[in-house]
Structure 1
Amino acid sequence: MHCSALEGRLFLWTDGETEEFREALKNIGLGKAHLETAYVSIPDAEGRILPTQKSVLPLGVETWRRLWVDWLQPREGLGESAVYWANATLLAWHLMERGAHVPTVLKSRDGLEGRWAARWMGEEYQSFQAMVDRMPDSARALSLKADLLPRSDRATLLNQVVSSVIDTQARRVASSLGQRFPASTIYSKWQSALSHPSALLQGDSGTLERFHQGILGWQQSLDLESRFGYRLAFAVEEPKNESRDGWTIVPLVEDLLDPNVKIEIGRVEEVEMRGGEKAAEAAWRCFEQASVLYPALVSFEDGDGLYLPGERVIDFLSRFAPLLEQSGFHILKPGWWTEGDGLRVAVTGELHSDSAAVDSTNAMSSKVRLDWAALLGDQPVTIEELNELAKHAGEMQQVGGKWMRIDPVSVREAVKFLKGGVKKELSARDALREVLGMGSAGRGLEIREIRTEGWIGDLLQRLREPGEIKELEMPAGLKGELRPYQRRGFSWLNFVTGFGLGACLADDMGLGKSLQLLALLALRRGSGRPTLLICPTSVIGNWEREAAKFFPSLQLMVHHGAARAKGPTFVRAAKRHDLVLSSYSLVHRDIEILKQVPWDGVVLDEAQNIKNFETKQAKAARQIESSYRVALTGTPVENHVGDLYSLMDFLNPGLLGSERDFQQRFFKPIQNHHNERAAKQLKGLTAPFVLRRLKTDKSIISDLPEKMEMKTYCKLTKEQAKLYADVVSGCFGEMDGKSSMERRGLILATISRLKQVCNHPAQILKERTDLAGRSGKLSRLTEMLEEVREAGEKALIFTQFAEMGEILALHCEQVFGKTVSFLHGGTRRLDREKMIADFSKPEGASLFVLSLKAGGTGLNLVAANHVFHFDRWWNPAVENQATDRAFRIGQNKTVQVHKFVCMGTLEERIDQMVEEKKALVSKVVEAGEVWLTELSNQELRELFSLSREAWED
């Protein structure tokens, strides 16, 4: 393989014929790429140059990078030109890391374009010259016409390619500069063009030409650093008195070889400099070009600084200094300067409890004292001093003899907060809410520290450090054995609920949450009051079996079905039992009688069922009063951090404020803007009430096998590809004129239809015949299942569509000649248990098809060691929960998880999006979701588009 550059673009070619070239490209996944025609001219052994027509592949920057990393780099026999341009790409990335790139303009046939280019200086310039000298002829062997010899200047060609790579990469981060010029100016248009795909600068020809010449002159001014070893700097100097005016910007020439040497620009002709007059001229050229970026410099006079009032120096530091620095100039800022809105006022608190110990049963109603104070930097300030600071907040002002700028929002928030009470007495429950919130004082105010003492300090320490909680002995009446981590979890549950606080046991699936809860019930049995446990209907039987096995003396009552007890009969019966089981489907229907029972506790199993705050079952669960509340779930955040609000409001009402407050303070900043501070605050507020352990953590449990996750990429058949294209075309044909709600519905419907197409044409066409050979996914699944059966192993097959589950079960029966069960939401309880029992037997069925919703929770299916996700939910939490039917305690084989993805379709693109954003919500608890309906029409076209590689020939 060879690689040549032409006008800044890279092209791949080989010595062989076009057919051989296409075959080679096919081997690296580019078989469908569009080839162009060019002429290769390389001197032969006798020095003759004979242009030869070749098929060449144009390479974008990203394609070239992937090729080099994934395919070209490990292979031998590459042409020296391919290796050369790969090293040039590495040089470009090195320049980016060093900040050795500058904004510039390119004059093309269509006009002026904003571009980023390499800035060659020092060691980088030496590397550039060395690479120019060793450029092979084959690296510049292309021309577009047979009679045009490709003898581009080596230095020009290398600079073009490196700058092209830099331009592509820099546009991804250039938007961080923001808009720092008035929108009507040519500078603003230039800056906008540097942040977006190459856009032409608009304006009259005279303005554009003057601007172009100015930028070219500025680039020439960089000789000051590369040739003479100096750099232009601007020092921001404070006023000589307390006046807010009189700030000065002093232009200086810094000696890069001796940082102590700084020469005022007006004295460069008087001082002996390396390079003499030429260096001085270069310094003035630098100054002239800096004035292109900061026009106020034109009023500078030799020997004097540029005088600015206080508000204009803020404008300089916040708006223009970053762009000057990006362009190679050095800004000597005051030591107090910070990016943003200035020094923030913070508050600190002291929480006092009168005694060292307290009765846990009434601890939360005990009175404690919380004292607040404000801090500016490290210095305390009174509310009177804050009121004075507020008059000039945001401006330059002197505090304690030092100039500073104080963030106005934090001043206002601090005054507002302290007016609510500097010293106040409140209940321990309300104090915990304030202390754990660490930011509840307002979105613009930081609570830096809250010191605690007495019993409430001890409580807070243990809530934040569960390892400090004393482990309890095995409770009476509980059979079996608690693993060490289960003993710690049960002890934690007892500690938190013992103070009347709600606790969420969020252990990974398979770690025995039910056993830890039963241990808590055994310990609290002496209360004489029952506990209500609400769970999905599908796991009621599991709870009955678990209770009978581990806690046989427990008096258990099932409140479910048409024949369930009602009215006073139910209340009397509930009081005679230790545990009452009911379902989410009944809790809101029977809420009035449930409220009449004096419950010791209310427990929600699979608590993600109340993730929606407004559902009837969530509202009903919050109405039931009890001494303690517990939530059991492997996915406290199933879709987004909004799920956490409903869960926490059930466990500890008011902890996260009102739903509106939560949306403004946490949901929008975290979900929409990835705000790290908001995520940290939310975690600090909720983490003390959530115990999360993963079975992959060997410090928790060491006797589980590993699981292997892998993606299985499939192609569509031609029938699928045509159906896919028809669905996409129909979607955008209906998009125009839709309201926001209608648009969202159309997008969701289109996504569902595209997923069905990717599964099998029979699903979207409502067919049940001629299943084989029409779906790439089904064909691959059949092959893999044959291997599973031949090895004598078992597999679970998950799908989110009931109709697809029927197709899968039918197809497997036809291919393998064995009955295959399909468990879905409509499966009767007895049939469900029969299916599970049959699959669990060594001689039982080897394949089991399950609906992701109905079969994704509450089942122990460790007989399987293969899990197939035939279609994707695109939610790691939900998919992992389904996988955990097999990957849990009792599994003694390595579990292999196969996630099917149709390449070149929305399935592959959304899978990539999920992988990129998976880490966001894990900073709070776990999991996350991609908001597909919020994408723009252009983003949707890119998401839905069908790549040619997606289907088979």
Structure 2
Amino acid sequence: MPLTDSDCLAPKITPAGHLLAAPDVDAPPLPDDVALGASFRRGTGHGLLYLGSATIGRALPPAWAWWRDFGARYVTSLCTTSEGEEVTVSQPDTGDFERLIEDAPPMTGTEYLTSDVLAALWGEIDIALRDELASTGESLQAFLKSRHPAWNLVGRVHFNLAENRKDPEAPFAFLATYAARISAHGKTQHQPLSRALEEFSGARNKAKLLSLLMPVQRAAERCDWLRAMLDSREIYHPLRWMPADAYRLLCDLPALESAGIMVRLPATWATGRPARPAVKASVGARPPSLLGKDALLDFRMEVSLDGDALSPSEIRRLLKGADGLQWIRGRWIEVDTKKLGHVLQRFESLEKAAQSGLPLNDALRLLAGVSDDEAVGSDERDWAQVVAGDWLAETLGHLRQPEGLVQVDPGPDLRAQLRPYQQAGVRWLYLLCRLGLGACLADDMGLGKTMQVLSLLLILKREQADSSPSLLVAPASLLANWAAEAERFAPGLRVLVAHPSVTPAEELRALSDAQLTQTDLVITSFGSLLRQPGLETIQWRIAIVDEAQAIKNPGARQTKQVKKLRAQSRIALTGTPVENRLSDLWSIFDFTHPGLLGSAKEFAELSRRLAKSEHFGPLRTLVRPYILRRLKTDRRVIADLPEKTELKAWCHLSPVQAALYERAVKDLAAALEGADGIERKGIVLSYLMRFKQICNHPSQWLGDAAWSPEASGKFGRLRELVDVMAAKQEKVLVFTQFRETTEPLAAFLGSLFGREGLILHGGTAVGKRRELVRQFQEDESTPFFVLSLKAGGSGLNLTAASHVIHFDRWWNPAVENQATDRAFRIGQRKNVLVHKFVCQGTVEDRIDQLIESKQQLVNDMLEGGAELQLTEMGDQELLDLVRLNIHSAQEN
């Protein structure tokens, strides 16, 4: 659907690094006169050029304002192009792009924003500019003038301010000049503005003179002192200025530059402005006596000038002096006595209150520039400097770059080999736990968050065998995964699954401290945590929440219960980019780092201020040490060829499914009585098909066409997985052996992704298949492809997919692998995750166990069709295979 300017549009960076203006009903509305949709319909470069050149001064949502700044940087670089000169634009270096990314506001796909992406977009703007210049036939100057008066480039007027130390009565000199021409060496040649009156004298050159002076006229509309200079014609002469005159120009720099005037300041002002005295505070020079969020850090402050401390007498003299420029230590400095005094008073109060130590959260907020006071926050950015002391700086450096941490290794207790990025993740988690702090491990799905946590638990157990157990809270569908991974890779961990599917309810109610002392890890679900309030009274070594997006709603019962847990450290695991959603970020950090982001109300106010200032760097600085996020697309993470990683996606049965399944088991037992030969084989095959259909969805067996997502555990599990994929803008192939399931699956997936996908089954015309494959491969907006296993299991190249889901099992590994290889094949450049859906406590579960435990036997027995082989089982053996374990099958 084409974009319209009436749509609510939000920027979105795709995994391929493309910038889109995507319709989003939750996006803040754009001003009526901002034609963003029309510009982006022409192409991303045209959209960014429009943003950067035509929306100056317009109130835009933070994300679009950030992209406007990016576009404006390109347009600003055009200002070096003189009249008639060929348009050449130099691209910023990687460091400039990376600094820009650091301050990016939340938006969809922020994790894909890299300096390479910005460099490519810079090139797209350049192509768009040349295209628009060619289509309009205008000069560059005329084109930019038509976009906004701020880009008036005609004349290149410069205001030059210089120090004149030989004249103590008027220590500054002012001269207005203009760029007359370009020398043969490419240098701009300046002339006093008075020469323009001579050069452009006469009626023929009157238009040129008016164009030259237009920026000065525009600036004079906002600057009274400049208007007076124009009226008196002093603008055309060299002037002796007092410090107050020079400071007046400094204060109006934005107005002058936005009008198109270039301002040159004294070369001795190294930063482009006179130096300012700063109230410098240092926190955390020494290790605190107590670690954790209750740690108290040392706090020391001084007033300094370029790093040199000022004496008390110098400080008093500055505060008693006049606002503006003051002479101290042989140079001019800029002073705002009110702001400097305000910040000094606040820091002195902090120093007094922190005599026994500054709370860690307060120190980190101060260091990041995140203040509870809007006015103070603005003052501090200009007149205060907060730095981390030696201990805190070293600690934060390690957290931001865990690759350099001292090696910690679970050793042979872990029955697996950690990848380098996983080793860094374990070191990072270990450091935070040793400090008594929380962590948000936000690695992409499939990068081994489970393995990193198990490694951490093994290391902690080896260091302190008698320590408190740790608690893991996860969705009920993932408990079996955690238990199986722990048994397989960390058999030395003593694991207790506190869930009715594994441990009887009466045993859970009787759980004692003595039992817990013999346990390293307790695993439970969000639902069970609500039913076992005693778990909140236990002091856990670590409290871990898997799929932490489950606690993004702070008002939900399960979120409140999770946050009651007592633990030395708290870890949140999530595969979704929490930094892209501020509300999610707050709720998760309210669990991992209570108080760091303030209350919900305080955080909402902070977010409002950051959005208003279009400056999200402080928040990113505050949370960055505690979020570790690695992407499958990062070649530093996966440096070798992409992997095919197979994962079990355990599913529960809904109450309706469980009732239908139990009834089918009873019906099968009755049907088998007295049956033999071909009749018996037919009965067994029909019931195996019925069990599969019931496990998929009740409507598939009942034929009622309802297909309600809530009626199927597999649909619920599909929702959990797709929520992450949609947030990551990743593509998925979904295989089913049933043609009648393809359309209901596609309808459900379309509601989750918010966009339609594709379907291919045996009834799809052969001529259409190539077009479907092309669309899936080339169209970034096509998120999923539902395929029937027989129709899509071979001959198709679908390497655009990062995920493969086997919604129902063929019970033949060779057939499933052939389907998986539609994505995992030559040309694939992504890590492919394969999710195999299995309903716990059902025939799917037991056949999966058979496949896992007796692989060779399976190859011999199941090749050619599992159902045919299963018909040879005895009655009791068959009924044992299909019976329902209600405790495992249903979510509690």
TM-score by length of 1: 0.48
Give 1:509's aligned residue: 445
In 1, the alpha carbon distance for the partners of 2:358 and 2:833 equals 39
Matches within 5 A, 1:28-39: none
State which drifts further: 694-703 or 392-401: 392-401
What CA RMSD, in Å, does the superposition of the two structures yield over aligned residues? 6.0
1:470–1:491 CA contact under 8 A, matched in 2: yes
In the superposition, relative to structure 1, how do residues 347 and 570 fare at CA in structure 2: closer, same or farther (>3 Å)? same
The secondary structure found in structure 1 opposite 2:428 is helix
Matches within 5 A, 1:126-137: none
The secondary structure found in structure 1 opposite 2:510 is helix
1:424-445: CA deviation from partner (whole Å, max 9, x where unpaired): 4455862894388342565232
Q: Which amino acid aligns with 2:590?
A: D
1:103-143: CA deviation from partner (whole Å, max 9, x where unpaired): xxxxxxxxxxxxxxxx7456789xxxxxxxxxxxxxxxxxx
2:178–2:193 CA contact under 8 A, matched in 1: yes
1:655-693: CA deviation from partner (whole Å, max 9, x where unpaired): 33344443444x346667652xx32x3343333333333
Matches within 5 A, 1:477-516: 477-516=413-452
In 2, the alpha carbon distance for the partners of 1:66 and 1:502 equals 40
Give 2:574's aligned residue: 633
Selected match of 1:581 from 517, 520, 523: 523
In the superposition, relative to structure 1, how do residues 777 and 551 fare at CA in structure 2: closer, same or farther (>3 Å)? closer
Selected match of 1:546 from 463, 466, 485: 485
Give 1:430's aligned residue: 360
Q: Which amino acid aligns with 1:695?
A: K
Deviation at 1:540, TM superposition (A): 1.1
Give 1:163's aligned residue: 138
In 1, the alpha carbon distance for the partners of 2:538 and 2:641 equals 41
2:296–2:359 CA contact under 8 A, matched in 1: no
In 1, the alpha carbon distance for the partners of 2:642 and 2:191 equals 68
Q: Which amino acid aligns with 1:418?
A: E
Give 1:686's aligned residue: 623
In the superposition, relative to structure 1, how do residues 538 and 595 fare at CA in structure 2: closer, same or farther (>3 Å)? same
2:470–2:541 CA contact under 8 A, matched in 1: yes
The secondary structure found in structure 2 opposite 1:540 is helix
Q: Which amino acid aligns with 1:557?
A: L
Deviation at 1:543, TM superposition (A): 1.1
In the superposition, relative to structure 1, how do residues 624 and 608 fare at CA in structure 2: closer, same or farther (>3 Å)? same
State which drifts further: 514-523 or 697-706: 697-706
Matches within 5 A, 1:215-226: none
Give 1:443's aligned residue: 377
1:428–1:456 CA contact under 8 A, matched in 2: no
Q: Which amino acid aligns with 1:512?
A: G
In the superposition, relative to structure 1, how do residues 235 and 577 fare at CA in structure 2: closer, same or farther (>3 Å)? closer
In 2, the alpha carbon distance for the partners of 1:282 and 1:768 equals 70
In the superposition, relative to structure 1, how do residues 346 and 380 fare at CA in structure 2: closer, same or farther (>3 Å)? same
In 2, the alpha carbon distance for the partners of 1:684 and 1:61 equals 33
In the superposition, relative to structure 1, how do residues 300 and 450 fare at CA in structure 2: closer, same or farther (>3 Å)? same
1:479–1:549 CA contact under 8 A, matched in 2: yes
Number of residues paired by the alignment? 578
In the superposition, relative to structure 1, how do residues 694 and 250 fare at CA in structure 2: closer, same or farther (>3 Å)? closer
Say if 2:592 is the partner of 1:654: no
In 2, the alpha carbon distance for the partners of 1:276 and 1:631 equals 73
The secondary structure found in structure 1 opposite 2:425 is helix
Deviation at 1:538, TM superposition (A): 1.4
2:265–2:272 CA contact under 8 A, matched in 1: no
In the superposition, relative to structure 1, how do residues 529 and 63 fare at CA in structure 2: closer, same or farther (>3 Å)? closer
In 2, the alpha carbon distance for the partners of 1:769 and 1:284 equals 70
Give 1:81's aligned residue: none
Give 1:917's aligned residue: none
Q: Which amino acid aligns with 1:580?
A: V
In the superposition, relative to structure 1, how do residues 338 and 164 fare at CA in structure 2: closer, same or farther (>3 Å)? same
In the superposition, relative to structure 1, how do residues 496 and 312 fare at CA in structure 2: closer, same or farther (>3 Å)? same
> In percent, how many aligned pairs have the same letter?
23
Deviation at 1:602, TM superposition (A): 0.8
State which drifts further: 415-424 or 246-255: 246-255
Give 1:865's aligned residue: 823
Say if 2:299 is the partner of 1:370: yes
In the superposition, relative to structure 1, how do residues 784 and 64 fare at CA in structure 2: closer, same or farther (>3 Å)? farther
In the superposition, relative to structure 1, how do residues 612 and 255 fare at CA in structure 2: closer, same or farther (>3 Å)? same
In 1, the alpha carbon distance for the partners of 2:487 and 2:586 equals 34
The secondary structure found in structure 1 opposite 2:537 is coil
In 2, the alpha carbon distance for the partners of 1:530 and 1:495 equals 18
Q: Which amino acid aligns with 2:431?
A: F
Selected match of 1:841 from 791, 795, 813: 813
In 1, the alpha carbon distance for the partners of 2:370 and 2:243 equals 33
Deviation at 1:609, TM superposition (A): 1.8
Selected match of 2:402 from 466, 484, 488: 466
Say if 2:217 is the partner of 1:292: yes
In the superposition, relative to structure 1, how do residues 602 and 308 fare at CA in structure 2: closer, same or farther (>3 Å)? same
In 2, the alpha carbon distance for the partners of 1:290 and 1:789 equals 61
Give 1:535's aligned residue: 474
Say if 2:455 is the partner of 1:519: yes
Give 2:584's aligned residue: 643
In 2, the alpha carbon distance for the partners of 1:158 and 1:375 equals 51
Deviation at 1:637, TM superposition (A): 0.9
1:911-953: CA deviation from partner (whole Å, max 9, x where unpaired): xxxxxxxxxxxxxxxxxxxxxxxxxxxxxxxxxxxxxxxxxxx
Q: Which amino acid aligns with 2:137?
A: V
In 2, the alpha carbon distance for the partners of 1:886 and 1:632 equals 19
The secondary structure found in structure 2 opposite 1:693 is coil
- Which structure has greater helix proportion? 2
In 2, the alpha carbon distance for the partners of 1:482 and 1:288 equals 67
Deviation at 1:500, TM superposition (A): 1.5
In the superposition, relative to structure 1, how do residues 364 and 621 fare at CA in structure 2: closer, same or farther (>3 Å)? closer
In 2, the alpha carbon distance for the partners of 1:470 and 1:346 equals 35
In 1, the alpha carbon distance for the partners of 2:241 and 2:823 equals 73
Deviation at 1:267, TM superposition (A): 8.3
Matches within 5 A, 1:150-229: 161-163=136-138, 174=148
The secondary structure found in structure 2 opposite 1:524 is helix
1:371–1:424 CA contact under 8 A, matched in 2: no
Q: Which amino acid aligns with 1:462?
A: H
2:291–2:435 CA contact under 8 A, matched in 1: yes
In 2, the alpha carbon distance for the partners of 1:684 and 1:176 equals 33
In 2, the alpha carbon distance for the partners of 1:493 and 1:430 equals 18
In 1, the alpha carbon distance for the partners of 2:626 and 2:176 equals 57
Selected match of 2:342 from 396, 409, 412: 412
In the superposition, relative to structure 1, how do residues 425 and 571 fare at CA in structure 2: closer, same or farther (>3 Å)? farther
1:175-233: CA deviation from partner (whole Å, max 9, x where unpaired): 878xxxxxxxxxxxxxxxx9xxxxxxxxxxxxxxxxxxxxxxxx9xx7xx7xxxxx765
Deviation at 1:421, TM superposition (A): 1.0
In 2, the alpha carbon distance for the partners of 1:863 and 1:267 equals 75
2:279–2:303 CA contact under 8 A, matched in 1: yes
In the superposition, relative to structure 1, how do residues 307 and 281 fare at CA in structure 2: closer, same or farther (>3 Å)? farther
In the superposition, relative to structure 1, how do residues 480 and 331 fare at CA in structure 2: closer, same or farther (>3 Å)? closer
Deviation at 1:251, TM superposition (A): 4.2
1:334-383: CA deviation from partner (whole Å, max 9, x where unpaired): 5549889995735242644379xx8xx86877765331223344443467
In the superposition, relative to structure 1, how do residues 386 and 884 fare at CA in structure 2: closer, same or farther (>3 Å)? farther
- Which ranges in structure 2 are unaligned for 5 or more consecutive residues? 1-37, 48-72, 89-131, 221-226, 645-742, 777-782, 794-804, 837-892
Q: Which amino acid aligns with 1:161?
A: T
1:365–1:428 CA contact under 8 A, matched in 2: no
In the superposition, relative to structure 1, how do residues 783 and 393 fare at CA in structure 2: closer, same or farther (>3 Å)? farther
Give 1:596's aligned residue: 537
Give 1:558's aligned residue: 497
1:353–1:367 CA contact under 8 A, matched in 2: no
In the superposition, relative to structure 1, how do residues 467 and 261 fare at CA in structure 2: closer, same or farther (>3 Å)? closer
In 2, the alpha carbon distance for the partners of 1:577 and 1:885 equals 32
Give 1:197's aligned residue: none
Deviation at 1:588, TM superposition (A): 4.2
In 1, the alpha carbon distance for the partners of 2:744 and 2:554 equals 40
In 2, the alpha carbon distance for the partners of 1:607 and 1:630 equals 9
1:474–1:482 CA contact under 8 A, matched in 2: no
